Amino acid sequence: MAQTELDITRVMILLQRRRNFIWEVSRLTGELEQAMGRNDEISIAMILQMRADEMAKIDECTNEIWQMAENGQEAQRKLRLLMTSEPKEGAGETPEEKKIYEIRRKTQHLLDELRRVDERLNRKVAGDKSYYARKDQ
């Protein structure tokens, strides 16, 4: 592989790994909601730390993906297209690119659900001071 080419397979693997970490954050968020319902402060603190650890892993994957674009302008262009284009509209030219868009679509669906639960929890805890309450104004 030439120095300026983008390793599409590696991007696909990292995106799938990132999606798995997001799924774990989602699962932990469900546990957090249950712990909050029980007013279990010890579990809440532990789950929040576990979520933070998973979020750090998400950031690591994302950073590793973007570092792959340091190989040259063509790699940057290709990666930017794969990572920022609308996943619902992206078709991809190769099986790997098609899989990248599929992973991104599934990840977006997972993130949308996670945001709904997070908003519900945030409003419950913070009330009028919620991050989401400020957005409504």
**85-130 tens-digit pLDDT:** 887 777 778 899 999 999 999 999 999 999 999 888 888 887 777 6
**pLDDT for position 137:** 52
| Mean pLDDT over each residue of the chain, to the nearest integer | 89
Range of lowest pLDDT (9-13, 51-55, 125-129):
125-129
Within 13 Å and on the Cβ side, how many CA atoms surround 46? Answer: 6
Q: Decide: 127 and 40 in contact? Cβ < 8 Å.
A: no
Question: Of 115, 116, 113, 89, whose CA–CA distance to 102 is shortest?
Answer: 89
**pLDDT for position 89:** 77
Domain definitions of the chain by residue range: 8-126
Range of lowest pLDDT (15-19, 27-31, 61-65, 74-78):
74-78
For residue 123, what are the contacts with CB-CB under 8 A and spacing of at least 6?
130, 132, 133
83 vs 107: CA distance, rounded Å: 12
